[in-house]
Amino acid sequence: MSPDEKRAGVSLAAIFALRMLGLFLILPVFSIYAKELPNGNDMLLVGCALGAYGATQACLQIVYGAASDRFGRKPVIVFGLVLFVLGSFVAAMAGDIYGIIAGRVLQGAGAISAAVTALAADLTREQHRTKVMAMIGSSIGLVFAISMVGAPLLYATIGMPGIFALTGVLALLAIFVVLKVVPVAPAIPRQPGWPSFVEVLHNPQLLRMNFGVFTLHLMQTAMWVLLPSALVSTGGLSVAEHWKIYLPAVLLSFVIMVPAIIAAEKHGKMKLVFNAAIALLVAVQIGFGFFGQSVYALAFWLTLFFVAFNILEATQPSLISRIAPPHAKGAALGVYNTTQSLGLFLGGVLGGALAKHSGPGAVWLACAGAAFVWLLLGLTMTMPAPRVQPLAEKPL
Give pLDDT tens digits along the chain (396 positions).
Answer: 777 778 888 888 888 787 777 777 887 778 778 878 877 777 778 778 877 877 887 788 778 877 887 788 888 899 999 999 999 999 899 888 888 888 888 888 887 877 887 788 788 776 666 677 667 766 776 777 677 778 878 888 898 899 999 989 988 998 998 888 888 776 655 554 455 667 777 788 888 988 998 999 899 888 878 887 788 888 777 777 777 887 788 788 888 887 887 777 777 788 888 999 999 999 999 999 888 788 889 999 999 998 898 888 878 877 877 787 766 766 777 788 778 878 878 888 888 888 888 888 899 999 999 999 999 998 988 877 654 444 344 444
| C-beta of residue 81 within 8 angstroms of C-beta of residue 171 | yes
Say how far apart CA 290 and CA 42 lie, in whole Å.
25
Name the burial class of residue 218, with classes exposed (0-12), middle (13-18) and buried (19+) by CB atoms within 10 angstroms of its CB.
Answer: buried
One-letter amino acid for residue 4 of the chain: D
Amino acid at position 208, single letter: R
State how far the Cα of 7 lies from the Cα of 39, in Å rounded to an integer.
46
Q: What are phi and psi of 120, to 5 degrees?
A: -60, -40
Report yes or no: 321 and 129 within 8 Å, Cβ to Cβ.
yes
> What's the CA angle centered on 243, arms 241 and 244, to 5 degrees?
75
Question: What is the spatial distance between Cα 368 and Cα 302, in angstroms, rounded to a whole number?
Answer: 14
Dihedral angle, C-alpha 219, 369, 340, 96, nearest 10 °: -50
Contacts of residue 268, defined as CB under 8 A and 6 or more positions apart, other chains included, come to: none
Contacts (Cβ under 8 Å, ≥6 apart) of 334: 61, 62, 63, 64, 65, 66, 68, 114, 197
pLDDT at 118: 78
Contact 354, 362 (CB under 8 A): yes
Q: Would you give the distance in Å from CA 152 to the centre of its chain? A: 22
Residue 117 contacts residue 133 (beta carbons within 8 Å): yes
Question: Do the Cβ atoms of 103 and 87 come closer than 8 Å?
Answer: yes
Q: What's the pLDDT at 393?
A: 41
Reported pTM: 0.73
* Domains of the chain, each with CATH number or no CATH: 3-180+191-379 (1.20.1250.20)
- Alpha-carbon distances of 230 from 40, 208, 234, 362, rounded to whole Å: 18, 33, 5, 15
* pLDDT reported for residue 286: 93
Sign of CA dihedral 139, 49, 245, 35: positive
Angle at 271 between CA 336 and CA 134, to 5 degrees: 55
Burial class (CB in 10 A: 0-12, 13-18, 19+), 373: middle
Among 36, 45, 46, 155, smallest CA distance to 95 is for: 36
Contact by Cβ (8 Å): 104, 52: yes
